[in-house]
Structure 1
Amino acid sequence: MSAHPQLRRRAEAAASRLPPLLARADNLANTVLLGEHGRRRSGLGDDFWQYRAVQPGDSYRLIDWRKSAKTDAQYVRQKEWQIAQSVTMWIDNAASMDYASRKDIAPKSDRARLLALAIAILTIRAGERVGLAGTSLPPKRGEGQIWRLSQALLDDSEQADYGSPEARAMIPNSRALFISDFMGDFESVEHALYKAADRGVRGVILQVLDPAEEAFPFSGRAIFESMKAQVMHETRKANDLRDQYVARLQDRKAALRKLARITGWQYDCHLTDAPVQSALLWIYRALERGR
């Protein structure tokens, strides 16, 4: 019985964060200038893109009878954004993502959720489908999906110390977005990306770090421990660890960059004290290039 009040408090806390997260993500999405030039691919716009042969399942109202009358075949007149693409996101909700080195900097988890939801808003409103990997939320279209995504992104009921990417049930030849600090087991990242690449999935890796994790500004006596206290290290000379730490971090970045190159993905690193708009624009353009 004692678990019910705790579960209720978690649900109420998540519910109270929903409207602010949605409002911030919507505002962020609206500030991104996507450009006025045609993207030269099929979609929901009004500009003509190309003709293609009629396929099973096409509605008769889509057939361009003037073009079809000139040949023995039937053709559909495609417009920009007509064919909905799918984007599957994996957003790390592990305890390590809750870290923030200063009170004036948001936790990594907050930045990751904000970017993910803003991308979802941009792509869904462009007629595409968005879903979450490893959940019961497959890629779908519509404003209702944005609400469902925001609810799922705030669910941190089962947190491990570090996250492992999830690539199950990804739609072949679709796109994906992974956002994490990627501080955990690297083999799990390799397994997920190789599995996705085998299905023709191309995507984006965004590593989100706190500025203290990048610069390692510690000195003197310090105790370092993971967010769930499963890993701990105490030292009297933290500054002596800086060079070794920075080298290992650079090795991890290089490994992620190489893995992205091998699998046809794209990698970037974003610090939580940097402008969020620049990260969102990079993700959007990277997903576009991954088509």
Structure 2
Amino acid sequence: MRPAPDQLRAEAEGASAGLPALMLSAERLAAALVAGAHGQRRAGLGEDFWQYRPATAGDTARSIDWRRSARTDAQYVRDREAQVAQSAVIWVSAAAGMEYSGGADRPAKRDRADLLALSLAMALLAAGERVALAGQPPRPGRVQAERMAQALVARAPLPGDEDAPPAEALRPGQRIVLFDDFLGDPQPVLDYLARAAGLGVQGVLMQVLDPDEEGFPWRGAVLFRSGSGALRHDTRDAAGLRMAYLARLAERREALSRAGRSAGWHFGTHDTTAPPSQALLWLWSVLEG
């Protein structure tokens, strides 16, 4: 049965309550980036110089660079670098654990991931690229940023502890950015990377963690629970677990980094108390190559 109009309106208003704040924050963050055009390193229509090459029979007199040609007995053409719209796909995990925040003064991991995802999307769109959330068709333009923001805000957290990007949506020529805490079962991510590598798809893994998950500050008796509550561990000596936890975290990061390198991907980490601009600048730099 369809919901009543009043109920539907209330649900829509609740889902969009955070949209203006997310859009404003993302716009400010994206504006800090210098969004240049993305060259394809081949001759074509563009503004940036790429190379000089000897003139051939098909070149017109207008295409000859006479200043360069005057230095030798040959004639040269000034090729420009082709600049065409690329396609970027962004995925943000909705697993229950992404809702975690270790303090009222910190954003939840998913809130920070949403901000980074939308800011990056806006910067890429401003550079003329086509962008989308995973599973959706990449499109250009300002309206696409608004669509993505609405989708991010309206999406409900999953009831379980696991989430994975849709491997069936991978397409050759795309660049992918995945935001997650990557604390769950790593196998779906490793399988995704293997499939991406087979299609020649490159991208970035961005691990977003709360400082508590980075440093494990707990002491004494603590009941640890996963985001969904399905996994629990009760201890009377949390401090005694710290070294083992940090070793496991380092091991997980190394495994993801190694798998990423094998697939031609980058792996980065972000602490939710760090300025989001730091993560955004790093993401931009690795995507620019």
TM-score in terms of structure 1 length = 0.83
Question: What is the letter of the counterpart of residue 244 of structure 2?
Answer: Q
Superposition pairs of residues 116-155 of structure 1, within 5 angstroms: 116-133=117-134, 135=135, 137-155=136-154
Residue segments in structure 1 that go unaligned for 5+ positions in a row: 53-62, 69-74
Whole-Å separation in 1 of the counterparts to 2:171 and 2:133? 12
Residue segments in structure 2 that go unaligned for 5+ positions in a row: 54-58, 65-76
CA contact (8 A) 2:35 2:124 kept: no
**Most deviating of 114-123 and 89-98:** 89-98
Deviation at 1:229, TM superposition (A): 1.0
Report Cα offsets for 1:257-282 as digits up to 9, x if no partner. 11111101001111001111110000
Larger radius of gyration: 2
**Most deviating of 272-281 and 155-164:** 155-164
CA contact (8 A) 1:210 1:271 kept: yes
Deviation at 1:79, TM superposition (A): 5.6
Number of residues of Structure 1 aligned to a counterpart in Structure 2: 269
Question: What is the letter of the counterpart of residue 272 of structure 2?
Answer: T
Report Cα offsets for 1:220-275 as digits up to 9, x if no partner. 11111112211111111111111111111111111111111110100111100111
Deviation at 1:196, TM superposition (A): 1.0
Question: What is the letter of the counterpart of residue 124 of structure 1?
Answer: L
SS of the residue 1:168 aligns to:
helix
Deviation at 1:179, TM superposition (A): 0.8
Whole-Å separation in 1 of the counterparts to 2:40 and 2:89? 23
Report the equivalent of 1:190. Answer: 190
For residues 191 and 236 of structure 1, do their structure 2 counterparts lie closer, same or farther at Cα, with a shift above 3 Å needed?
Answer: same
Runs of 4+ in 1 over 2 A off after TM superposition: 1-11, 32-35, 37-52, 63-68, 77-80, 155-158, 165-171
Deviation at 1:174, TM superposition (A): 2.0
For residues 198 and 64 of structure 1, do their structure 2 counterparts lie closer, same or farther at Cα, with a shift above 3 Å needed?
Answer: farther
Deviation at 1:78, TM superposition (A): 5.2
Deviation at 1:184, TM superposition (A): 1.1
Report the equivalent of 1:260. Answer: 260
For residues 12 and 161 of structure 1, do their structure 2 counterparts lie closer, same or farther at Cα, with a shift above 3 Å needed?
Answer: farther
Report the equivalent of 2:63. Answer: 67
CA contact (8 A) 1:40 1:49 kept: no
Deviation at 1:173, TM superposition (A): 2.3
Question: What is the letter of the counterpart of residue 249 of structure 1?
Answer: L
Superposition pairs of residues 1-291 of structure 1, within 5 angstroms: 9-33=10-34, 41=41, 46-49=47-50, 66-67=62-63, 82-133=83-134, 135=135, 137-157=136-156, 159=158, 160-289=160-289
Whole-Å separation in 1 of the counterparts to 2:113 and 2:45? 28
SS of the residue 1:103 aligns to:
coil
TM-score in terms of structure 2 length = 0.83
Of all paired residues, the percent bearing the same amino acid is 43
SS of the residue 1:16 aligns to:
coil
Deviation at 1:39, TM superposition (A): 5.9
Alpha carbon RMSD of aligned pairs, Å? 3.0
Whole-Å separation in 2 of the counterparts to 1:175 and 1:184? 23
Question: What is the letter of the counterpart of residue 106 of structure 1?
Answer: P
